[in-house]
């Protein structure tokens, strides 16, 4: 099994290191955070003294390098990769994909790269918040661009599968647009809802029940992480916010003019039912060594399908 070198050992990177080790892979990491490094070493994980050391080892062992730093540190890490391990297999777990793709194209034009994003928790951060099971059953996007090769995609996807996740194949732009709607807008909504509730004073908060608690839960996440994630996906998030403003404005207009929220409530109910009532999936195999394999996988992702297993030659996918 291919070795894994994780740069950044916070919640996500630390969980990747644990899960890859648990899957039987040789794995090591590096982090700029002394507390994260100490905590990881105390649990028996290999943490190199610097990212340079970790990347030189990756080059020597032909490892898969996983960039697991905040978006703001990605460029610096990629420069180090270009210097110490330019031939390494490469992926990342950053929550936005187009900006990372652009950096990789610019700094590592010949990289064996496919971007990744596991859809896993955010409320806590740091090594100690992670676990080998964090990705179990979760969706994990692995991106396919014009320049992506099947071997590079397969390496990134195999890591996700080994971590217990289901792989959603999609382009970087498709990913960023989708998570703006289902991950970043929910954080904006939670923040706005919490503030509107607080505007009602102590009485309103003492009358708050399940609907308000559910709707504001992720407003409890660390503000710096929420900002990094949402502000890093600005263009796609603006589209999602505009869609939301349009729908909320239409609800307001209808309530004011006719007193009805029928369109709003019915559309929301139908959408939520679609989320709950996922149909029994069909299972298919997609050969990875055939021409057009990655296009077929992107089509699987666009239809809501996921890769649930990988072997040398083929991906097993489930399509609704």
Nearer to its own copies, 57 or 187 (CB): 187
Helix, coil or strand: residue 168: strand
Provide, rounded to whole angstroms, the least separation between the CB of residue 295 and its own copies. 15
The rounded distance, in Å, linking the Cα atoms of 111 and 106 is 10
Nearer to its own copies, 63 or 315 (CB): 315
Helix, coil or strand: residue 27: strand
Provide, rounded to whole angstroms, the least separation between the CB of residue 91 and its own copies. 17
Q: Which residues contact 152 (CB under 8 A, 6 or more apart)?
A: 89, 90, 111, 112, 113, 114
Nearer to its own copies, 24 or 137 (CB): 137
Q: Which residues contact 201 (CB under 8 A, 6 or more apart)?
A: none
Nearer to its own copies, 30 or 122 (CB): 122
Provide, rounded to whole angstroms, the least separation between the CB of residue 258 and its own copies. 10
For the CA atoms of 82, 83, 89, 91, the dihedral, rounded to the nearest 10 degrees, stands at -50
Question: Residue 292: what are its φ and ψ, rounded to 5°?
Answer: 85, 5
Provide, rounded to whole angstroms, the least separation between the CB of residue 59 and its own copies. 33
Q: Which residues contact 273 (CB under 8 A, 6 or more apart)?
A: none
Nearer to its own copies, 273 or 291 (CB): 273
Provide, rounded to whole angstroms, the least separation between the CB of residue 140 and its own copies. 9
Nearer to its own copies, 1 or 255 (CB): 255
Nearer to its own copies, 156 or 185 (CB): 185
Nearer to its own copies, 70 or 86 (CB): 70
Provide, rounded to whole angstroms, the least separation between the CB of residue 250 and its own copies. 9
In the block, which residue shows the tokens 């978006």? 71
Provide, rounded to whole angstroms, the least separation between the CB of residue 273 and its own copies. 7
Provide, rounded to whole angstroms, the least separation between the CB of residue 266 and its own copies. 6
In angstroms, how far apart are the furthest CA atoms of the chain?
70
Question: Residue 304: what are its φ and ψ, rounded to 5°?
Answer: 85, 15
The rounded distance, in Å, linking the Cα atoms of 241 and 156 is 31
Q: Name beta bridge partners: 140.
A: 118, 167
The rounded distance, in Å, linking the Cα atoms of 156 and 269 is 36
Q: Beta strand pairing status for 166-170 and 139-143?
A: parallel
Edge-first strand listing for the sheet containing 306-310? 116-118, 139-143, 166-170, 306-310, 314-319, 282-287
Nearer to its own copies, 59 or 139 (CB): 139
Provide, rounded to whole angstroms, the least separation between the CB of residue 172 and its own copies. 13
């Amino acid at each position: 099994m291919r070795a894994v070198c994780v740069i950044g050992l916070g919640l996500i990177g630390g969980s990747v290191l644990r899960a890859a080790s648990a899957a039987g892979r040789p794995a090591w990491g590096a982090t700029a955070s002394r507390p994260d490094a100490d905590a990881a070493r105390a649990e028996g994980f290999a943490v190199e003294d610097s990212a340079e050391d970790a990347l030189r080892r990756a080059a020597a062992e032909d490892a898969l390098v996983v960039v697991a730093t905040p978006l703001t540190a990605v460029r610096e890490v990629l420069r180090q990769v270009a210097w110490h391990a330019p031939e390494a297999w490469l992926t990342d777990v950053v929550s936005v994909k187009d900006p990372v793709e652009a950096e990789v194209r610019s700094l590592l034009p010949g990289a064996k790269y496919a971007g990744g994003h596991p859809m896993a928790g955010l409320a806590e951060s740091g090594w100690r918040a992670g676990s080998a099971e964090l990705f179990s059953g979760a969706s994990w996007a692995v991106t396919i661009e014009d320049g992506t090769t099947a071997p590079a995609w397969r390496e990134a996807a195999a890591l996700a599968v080994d971590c217990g996740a289901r792989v959603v194949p999609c382009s970087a732009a498709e990913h960023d647009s989708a998570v703006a709607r289902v991950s970043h807008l929910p954080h904006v909504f939670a923040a706005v809802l919490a503030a509107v509730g607080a505007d009602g004073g102590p009485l309103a908060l003492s009358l708050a029940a399940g609907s308000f608690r559910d709707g504001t839960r992720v407003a409890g996440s660390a503000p710096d992480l929420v900002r990094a994630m949402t502000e890093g996906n600005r263009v796609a998030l603006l589209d999602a916010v505009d869609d939301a403003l349009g729908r909320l404005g239409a609800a307001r207009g209808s309530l004011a003019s006719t007193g009805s929220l029928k369109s709003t409530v019915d559309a929301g109910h139908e959408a939520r039912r679609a989320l709950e009532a996922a149909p029994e999936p069909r299972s298919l195999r997609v050969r990875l060594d055939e021409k057009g394999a990655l296009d077929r996988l992107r089509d699987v992702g666009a239809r809501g399908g996921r890769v649930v297993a990988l072997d040398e030659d083929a991906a097993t996918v489930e399509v609704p």
